[in-house]
Structures are given as C-alpha cells and as structure tokens.
Structure 1
Amino acid sequence: MDAFKLLKELRVNYEQEAHYLPKETGLRLIESTTEDDSRISAKCRDAKVEDLWSLTSFFGYSTQTFVLAVNLLDRFLAMIRIQPKHLSCVSVSCLHMAAKVTEEECNLAPPVELIRIGQCRFTASDLCRMEKIVAEKLNFKSKAVTALTFLDLYHQIALLDCTDRKEILSLEKLEAQLKACLCRISFSKAKPSVLALSLLRQEIHAVQSEDMLEIARHIQRHLKITDVELRLWSERVARCLSDYSSPECSKPNHRKLQWIVSRRTAQNLHSYRTVPELPTIPEHCWDESER
C-alpha cells in the first residue's frame, strides 16, 4: 500500500475511533471502586485481562484477538454494572467473540475448552447467553478500531521505502508492549491513535532513529495530536513498560497453568510415590530355553 492510501486509511480510522472508546465515566467508577465493594474494581479488571492474555497465549490466538477482547470487555464494564462473580463469564465471552471475528474457524477453541482451561464456573450455555448480551449492548458486528489498528498502520508507514527498518522496528515487540499497557485499566481511557503513537515513539527513541522520529512527527501533525496529550501518554507508557520489564513483574504470557482440585481428586491423582515398582528388566541376552 502506498503512502497516500495509508494516510487516507489512517484518517478514516482516526475519525471512527471515538465510537469504540469505553465510557470514561464508567471507567472512572471502576477505578474508584474498592476491592471489598460489590462492584468490579480496577485490580479485579486488570487481573481478569491478564487471565485473557494467558488464555490467548495458550490457544495460540493473535494479538488482534486479545486487543479486541479487551476493548469489548472495557466497553461493556464501563456501560453495565456487574458483580465480580460474573466477570469471568463476561471476559471469556468477549474473548470468544473476538476470536470468532479474527481467527480462522479451524483454530477456534470450543467454548467448553475455554471454560475448562480458564477454570471457570459456568457452562457453555451461560457463555452463549452472555455473548448475546454483550453483542446486543455494544451493538457489536465484526470489528472495532483499536490501538492495534493504528500501531499496524504506523508501522507500515514507518517502513515505506526502507525495508531495512523492519529489523530495528519490530511490530511483534510493539504488540507485546501494547498488551502490557492494556493490562492496566488507565490505558483504556487513552485514544487508540495516541496510545499507539506513544508506543511507537518510545521504541523509536530506544533505537535512536532520527529519520523514523521525523515520520512519527509527520503522523502526529497529520492526525493533529497535541504535544501535551502525546507527552502525557508517552510518560505513562514509559512508566508502565519500566514496571513490566522488572524481574518482579509476573508476565501473563509466561504464566503456568495452576489446577485447583478437590481433596478427593487430589487423593486419587497418581504421583511418583504411588506408582508400583516393577522388576528390573535384565540387560543380558535371553537364553534360548527361556523362549
């Protein structure tokens, strides 16, 4: 795609992004909710998004699936007040809805598998009903304009006429950084175009590329993003990625599955201590008489 078409597509998505933003009043309400409240708190939401990241990695889903699932989840939570006990059903429903839009049908995990691996306490019928509720409330059809939409377009623009930049400006790395940011509800208040540009500038500064920095400035001027807004979110992105890169941070995509079983099930599970000892197989050649 040439520069003119990319910039035109960029503008079209920029004009549509406001339709796919969660209600800020709803997000603020979640952020102000304490953990002992009967409503969803920011910590509860962030933990559930990390679970979605783990499920995305386990089933081999794309970044697009994860980002769309988080977008659906945040828009629904900012619109409808739900109890914490229903959050698992809502979040997994959003993931399944996103996967049906972005993944090949042959790669889709059956609802029962999503529920089993996610160790959720609801049925496939519950999941189906919740999907219908979310789709109806959000008027969801098949897509949403997200930060990943802009990140992909920015990356294509940055690589125009210079494929060598692909080696130093990794889209995969940018996607991983975006996923880390989305695990914090505060970034759901950012305009997708601004969040994506903040991530791009952060990486460009890291690789110290002056020509790509000029491309980022051109994108900023084209979309009329103010310096104040870009600086604000760039600082927040830098802090988030600094925390994420620390050894103390538990990476959701590296998390091991932990199975919760009843005491009776645990007693019935075979461990190496319960395996009966078998006689040692002799290593010498068989005697013909033993045949």
Structure 2
Amino acid sequence: MKFAEPTDGQKLSFLLEKAASREAELWRSYVPKKPANQDTDISPAQRDEAVRWLTDVHLRLKLYPETLCLAISILDRFLSTIKARPKYLRCIAITCFFLAAKTSEEDERIPALRELISSSACGCTPSEVLRMERIVLDKLSWNLHAATALDFLHIFHAMVFSCKAASLGVLSGLNRSQHLALLTQELLHCLSHNALLQERGSMLALALVTLQLENLCPDWLALAADLLRKVQIDSFKLIGCRELVARCLSTHTASLPPNTVYVCHPLQTPHDPCMPFHPVPPALPLRRKPSAKRKVEQMDVDEYFDGIKRLYNEEEPGGGGGATPGFQSIEGGSTPCPALQPVTVS
C-alpha cells in the first residue's frame, strides 16, 4: 500500500506538537531572586550580563543562532536547579555555550576548547570547563535537547508564511529569510531580559510573531487565534506576554546584518582607449638544466605542456613562456582570472 506524503501544514503541525511535548517535559520556570548576599547569589542583572556576554562571543565566532538560544536555555535550566556564586557565572556560561555548540553545530564548526577560552576571555582553564561540563550534564540528566524559543519561532513563522506569504512580503518589503532574521534578532534581545524568564519559549515566540502580524496584516487576529488553538495557549497569558515583549523591544532597533558583495572587474586590455592600462610584468620562468636521465622524458611531454599553455593563453605572441599582460602572476605562472575587487560605496 502506498501512502501519500503529508502536506506542509501537516508537517508543521507535527513539528509543533513535538516541540510542545519536549517543552512541557523539560521547561522549568527560572525566577531569579534578589540576592541576600552579593557574594553567594547570582542576581537577575548578573544573569542578563552573562547572556549579553555570550551573545558577543557568539557573534565573534559566527555560529548558528540555534547554538546561542540553546546555550541560554541550558544556562537558565541549570541556574534554576542549583545555587551558584557569581564568581563562577562566566565559567558556567561558557560551559553551557560549549555544550550547545557540540549539540547544534557541525563537527568542523565546533570551536576547540582552548580556542573558545582564548576568544571569549572567560578566565577559565580547560580543566575547569571540563569539570563544570560534567556538573551541568549531571544536573540536567544529560538531556540537552530542549525545545527553545527559536524552534517555536521557526515553526510559527513558517505557518504564517504558508498562509500569507505574498501579502507579508509586499507589506514588509522583505523576503522570507530577511523577515525571519529580524525576528531572530528581536528574540535574542528578549532572551537577555530576566523579566521574560517566566514565559515559556512557545509563548515568547508567539508574542513576537503576533506583534509583527498586528503591524502587517489587517486580519492578524484570525491568524493569531488559529496559532493559539494549535499550541493551546491561554489568550490572557499571551496578552500579558505581548505587553512585556513590546516594552522590551521599545529600546531595540533590529537591522539586517551587512552583506559584503564582491564584483568582478576585469582588468583592461591595451585595446580599450577609455581606461589606462598598467600591464603586469611577465613572470620569470624557472629554467633548470635537465639531467641526462630526463632528457628523453622531457621531449615526450613538451608538446603536452605547450598545449596547456596555449589553452590558458600563457604564451606571448613571440612564443615565449611569460605571463599574458593583464593577468596576475602566481608562483611563477599566471592565471586568466582577475582578482575580485571589494565594492566601494562613495
């Protein structure tokens, strides 16, 4: 019997149900309290400072946003189960980041521990991070695959765009990936505020999406009600979360990351009268006297190399082996491809 493949809506509903199940299993509200003693308790402001510091480390290493969101999730779950001193906070934070990188990144993108310690300037030794890593894993029962707010944001965003792709693109002036990038920046900004720690990741993501829908779609309320029904969130709780998120985003300005563009500008030839021509001096060929044992072999391959030179225009009209004017020399040879020039905006 041949089964039909599920539609995109069915796939998204399945992913949402799976993420909600993982969140219900692992999520625990972390409510930081004002410390009675600054030397023995981590304050809410210190937690937010650690998250912003992890954000800077993440930007420096250019890792996935999923890695940062998972690191913050691991950090908050760990701090909700133990009582740690502020002097250990950076060691805990960089350990959570290291665990998240090993969970979310490809193997070749995972930073080495010494490189991570050096680039982050966390002040820890590798042995201290490894010991803290074992403590974090034991406290979290070796279960790091929690559903983060970014997971829900991706699902909700895909659901909305599957219904309103054309209208959202026209109204926002952004394509799908650009719109999601701005929402991700807003989410990361919200995660660094302890006022939102009592909200589940699904609630936080839905609040961000519905705030965007309110600004872009006249019929946003119907879409929000459909998402509420699918994720089974109380509408009164969503209203309260939206107010907190709007207050948090009032001091934040999201912008698309800069995208460096390189344009190939071919070097001018002497036949172009409009542009000055600066030829590259021909490379000096390396001439070695062949040994007696290689004379016969050299005669057999001369024609082969001559054909390669003609193919890449490396012979001068006079039959020499120098580089063609207008191309850059590489290790005594030449390349027919001009160098890429960065775009300069005046």
Class of the TM-score when normalised by the shorter of the 2 chains: 0.7 to 0.9
Question: Residue 53 and residue 220 in structure 1: after superposition, are their counterparts in 2 closer, same or farther (change >3 A)?
Answer: same
Correspondence 1:215 to 2:215: no
The Cα shift of 1:35 comes to 7.4
Within-5 A mapping of 1:7-46: 7-22=13-28, 24=29, 27-28=30-31, 30-33=32-35, 36-46=38-48
CA distance in 2: counterparts of 1:68 and 1:35, whole angstroms: 29
Q: TM-score, normalised by structure 2?
A: 0.66
Q: Which has the higher contact order (CA 8 A, sep 6+)?
A: 1
The Cα shift of 1:141 comes to 3.6
Q: Give me the identity figure in percent.
A: 31
Indicate the residue corresponding to 1:189 in structure 2. Answer: 198
Indicate the residue corresponding to 1:82 in structure 2. Answer: 84
CA distance in 1: counterparts of 2:103 and 2:13, whole angstroms: 25
Measured against aligned partners, the alpha-carbon deviations of 1:179-207 in whole angstroms (never above 9, x if no partner) come to: 0010012222101111110000111122x
Within-5 A mapping of 1:1-291: 2-22=8-28, 24=29, 27-28=30-31, 30-33=32-35, 36-160=38-162, 162-164=164-166, 165=168, 167=174, 170-206=179-215, 208-245=216-253
What amino acid maps onto 1:16 in structure 2?
R
Question: Residue 188 and residue 175 in structure 1: after superposition, are their counterparts in 2 closer, same or farther (change >3 A)?
Answer: same
Measured against aligned partners, the alpha-carbon deviations of 1:203-254 in whole angstroms (never above 9, x if no partner) come to: 1122x213454322201122221121000000000000002239xxxx9x9x
Unaligned stretches of 5+ residues in structure 2: 1-6, 258-346
Structure 1 residue runs of 4+, over 6 Å off?
Answer: none
CA distance in 2: counterparts of 1:73 and 1:51, whole angstroms: 13
What amino acid maps onto 2:95 in structure 1?
S
Residue pair 2:51, 2:72 contacting (<8 A) in 1 also: yes
The Cα shift of 1:63 comes to 1.1
The Cα shift of 1:118 comes to 1.7
Larger radius of gyration: 2
Residue pair 1:11, 1:223 contacting (<8 A) in 2 also: yes
CA distance in 1: counterparts of 2:59 and 2:222, whole angstroms: 35
Residue pair 2:54, 2:93 contacting (<8 A) in 1 also: yes
Residue pair 1:21, 1:189 contacting (<8 A) in 2 also: no
What amino acid maps onto 1:173 in structure 2?
L
Unaligned stretches of 5+ residues in structure 1: 254-291
Residue pair 2:39, 2:86 contacting (<8 A) in 1 also: no
Q: TM-score, normalised by structure 1?
A: 0.77
Number of residue equivalences: 244
What amino acid maps onto 2:140 in structure 1?
L
| Aligned-CA RMSD value | 2.3
The Cα shift of 1:54 comes to 0.4
Indicate the residue corresponding to 1:266 in structure 2. Answer: none
Secondary structure at the counterpart of residue 92 of structure 2: helix
CA distance in 2: counterparts of 1:39 and 1:192, whole angstroms: 25
The Cα shift of 1:149 comes to 1.1
Measured against aligned partners, the alpha-carbon deviations of 1:2-59 in whole angstroms (never above 9, x if no partner) come to: 112211221222232122323x3xx33x232267342100011100000000001100
CA distance in 1: counterparts of 2:196 and 2:135, whole angstroms: 25
Residue pair 2:39, 2:85 contacting (<8 A) in 1 also: no
The Cα shift of 1:133 comes to 1.2
Measured against aligned partners, the alpha-carbon deviations of 1:110-145 in whole angstroms (never above 9, x if no partner) come to: 111221122122211111111111111102345111
